[in-house]
Amino acid sequence: MTYYHNAARMKRWCPVLFLLLALGASAAPRVAPDRRVLTLSFVGDLMMHGANHEATDYRDLYRDVGELLRGDDLTFANLEFPVDPARPYADFPAFNGTPAYLQAAVDAGCDAFSLANNHAFDGAEEGVLQTLRALDRAGRVAGRALFRAGTRANPGSDFAAARIELGEARISFLSATQFLNTRSGRDRVAVVDYRNAAAAGAFVARVRAESGRSDVVVVSYHAGVEYSTAPLPGLDAFLDRLAAAGATVVHGHHPHVLQAARFAYAGPLRRLVLPSLGNFISGQAEFLDPWTGGGAVAPGTGDSAIVRVRVLCGEGWATVIGVEAVPVAVHRDARGNLAVASMERLAGTTTAAWQAYYRGRLADLGRLFSGVATSSGR
């Protein structure tokens, strides 16, 4: 199925951390007259822990970042909980989120959802089906198309890519997870263990096939070791294979902490690999304190970034020409809710102890994006 997205929702966007890359004339194929520059944003895990569920108004969770999310062509996120309205809310280890919580993320600007992750089958088959329906309803309420990949309603069908058209630009969006938390579920959730040569090879072939019918390919892959600050070498190599096969952006998640972004190349075309974008919204930093950086599930679980990628594309090709990153953090807002906010704003408006904490985190996050900031060309 081909989906359509209205790019008219573009708004002015003011990044707090600007990492702009300029390609030389020799870095991309000769540009056709119908070329286009797309702006695609990527965020990390959307979680719904008990502390998030207790928020008084879910719209407050994104008030500080909504303008950033809406000022692009598409925003991609990992939805790490099923949404089954017939079941009550459930926290870890077997999540079930609520339609209102999902709607808040959609209204804030999230458009494309990776549904393949280790919690995707927490609600069994009915959870998968109801999540698909919940996204359809959320899109109708928001008045725009939403996109999803990584699960299927019919186990006899393929795990189809979402195909999106933005003007003349064609985008394919695929999603898979390395594993599930349950023994069953593979007939509903796309499971690809990169350590399995046959499964990995078949998925790479799918990416290559989508590249042949699209201009831009986004691959969302859920894998790795929780709370690890770097991917394992085998996973790193697999992400590079996806980029070489045609993935313009590889959007990684599962570790719940940020990992260093990097470029990969397919001939003259530049790809972006984001191994892990950490938690965009979660309750894992609920008890974080600024003096020790402790009290959370693990250091860095409150950190993330909104990564905005500028992609130049023409007929059958795309190359990354710019990357902007806005470090964000989960913090307690004025109502006591855990909300997402610009880390730079937090570093200037909170108490002295928190200011020092966020300034230190800003420096650390800057280093994670320094590879995409300083590289200019191959």
For position 189, which CATH number holds? 3.60.21.10
| Closest-CA residue to 258 (of 305, 326, 308) | 305
Given a cut of 70, whether residue 12 has pLDDT beyond it is no
Residue-wise pLDDT for 314-358, tens only, equals 999 999 999 999 999 999 998 999 999 999 999 998 899 999 999
Would you state the pLDDT for residue 292? 85
SS3 per-residue string spanning 289-338: CCCCCCCCCCCCCCEEEEEEEEEEEECCEEEEEEEEEEEEEEEECCCCCE
Domain count, the chain: 1
Domain that holds residue 40: 2-374
Output the pLDDT for position 343: 95
pLDDT digits (tens, 9 = 90+) for 118-150: 999 999 999 999 999 999 999 999 999 999 999
Of residues 32 and 373, more confidence is placed in 373
Residue in this structure with the two tokens 């309205």, named with its chain if needed: 85
Other C-beta atoms closer than 10 Å to the C-beta of 363 total 10
Closest CA to 177 of 158, 154, 149: 149
Q: Which amino acid is at 81?
A: F
Q: Note the pLDDT of residue 26.
A: 35
Please state at what angle helix 233-245 crosses helix 197-213, rounded to 10 degrees.
Answer: 30
pTM surpassing 0.85? yes
